[in-house]
Amino acid sequence: MSITIKSADHIAGMRLACRLAPEVLDYIAPPIPPGITTQEIDRPAAECMALQGTVSATVGYQPPGYPPYPASLCTSVNHVVCHGIPNEKPLKKGDIVNVDVTVITQDGWYGDNSRMYLIGEGSIAAKRLCALTFDAMWLGIQQVKPGNHLGDIGHAIQKFAEGHGFSVVREFCGHGIGQKFHEEPQILHYGRPGTLDELQPGMIFTIEPMINAGRREVKEFGNDGWTIVTKDHSLSAQWEHTVLVTETGYEVLTLSAGSPPLPSFVKATKT
């Protein structure tokens, strides 16, 4: 399956989708207070999509071998790595949660992003994991420019995360995106510089590292067919942006008024 290079019209469609996706995260009104359930996060997200005229890409999503996904977004709490299904369990002080939103516009374009949230004050360890995972994502983004390779993105993330004593999940990765939820290429969050596909203007993909406080191994949890957790029960964090390869570098498409402040080492969201 080949990598799709987006035309100017395609990029315009993706700009809209990727503007609307983070607006859903803004709409759920962080900070998320203790006592709220993840189902109570899902409901306003669905409401926001209805107001936008978008639909959720996850409701009913069913890759081969999976049951249909039942919610408007994914909520992955503490040691849940990804694909956590919203439920009725109240969040408590000290929890961390990843909220992952993908919308589809009326023209069929997908916008995909996620953010981490601390519930209450949060422990020093949880704050550190969330902050350094955010930095790792941005270090990967800064490798995006024509002539660089996908391996440069993964290497930057892996080197930084492992240098701080964390591990990088390898079973799940970023992906190309457009009028399909998942396209080529796969964006590994580990790797060697100068390897894999060369980046070209017009490529659009997600960078979404999943970083564990403990070991990198993961497993399925329960029997819902979706939830993935760390094998050692350590905390896991993830951030996600959708990124365009421009003629001179990168453009982060999934930024909004509610996006968290950039790391100090990031000077521009478009190069």
Q: pLDDT value at position 236?
A: 98
Q: Where are the alpha helices (DSSP H) in 60-164?
A: 124-141, 150-163
Asked whether residue 258 is assigned to any structural domain, the reply reads: no
Flag whether 1 is in a domain: no
State in Å, rounded, how far the first CA of the chain is from the last one. 29
Q: Consecutive 10-residue runs of the chain (271 residues): their mean pLDDT?
A: 93 98 95 96 98 98 96 98 98 98 98 97 96 98 98 98 98 98 98 98 98 98 95 98 98 97 96 95
pLDDT of residue 89: 98
Where do runs of H (alpha helix) occur along 1-147? 8-27, 38-52, 124-141
* Residue at 55 is within a domain: yes
Question: What is the tally of structural domains in the chain?
Answer: 1
- Please provide residue 240's backbone torsions phi and psi, each rounded to the nearest 5 degrees: -145, 135
178: in domain:
yes
Structural domain contains residue 187: yes
Instruction: Identify whether 185 is preceded by a cis peptide bond (ω within 30 of 0).
Output: yes
111 near 242, Cβ under 8 Å?
yes
Instruction: Say whether pTM exceeds 0.95.
Output: yes
In the prediction, which pLDDT does 94 show?
A: 97
CATH of the domain at 99: 3.90.230.10
Task: Provide the residue range defining the domain that includes 238.
Answer: 8-252
Amino acid 29: pLDDT: 84
